[in-house]
Amino acid sequence: MDNNFLNDALLIRLKEHLTQTSFKTVNELIEFVLEDYLEKNTSKKNSQDVPISDEVNQRLKDLGYL
């Protein structure tokens, strides 16, 4: 996975935070955060979650994950 989709400031923050976690790479941290977010926001079955899921899916497509 290529991190070119992240702005430099965010990548620096992630690298700094990485030292406080058990993750070995920024990619592992990003994958965990995205999976956790999707799990929390797609498990609810109300009308507000549909736009969030669509928005997340579109963002993941834009980032090259889907």
Rounded Cα gap, residues 21 and 43, in angstroms: 26
Residue 43 in tokens: 């498990």
Predicted pLDDT of residue 64? 76
Predicted pLDDT of residue 45? 55
Rounded Cα gap, residues 30 and 34, in angstroms: 6
Predicted pLDDT of residue 59? 80
Q: How many domains does the chain have?
A: 1
Residue 50 in tokens: 């549909």
The 10s digit of each residue's pLDDT in 5-56 is: 788 999 999 999 999 999 999 999 999 999 998 888 876 555 454 566 788 8
Indicate the pTM of the whole model.
Answer: 0.54
Does the residue 24 lie in any domain? yes
The 10s digit of each residue's pLDDT in 31-43 is: 999 999 888 887 6
Does the residue 31 lie in any domain? yes
Rounded Cα gap, residues 25 and 48, in angstroms: 33
Range(s) of the domain holding residue 43: 8-62
Does the residue 40 lie in any domain? yes
Does the residue 3 lie in any domain? no
Nearest to 26 by CA among 9, 7, 40, 12: 12
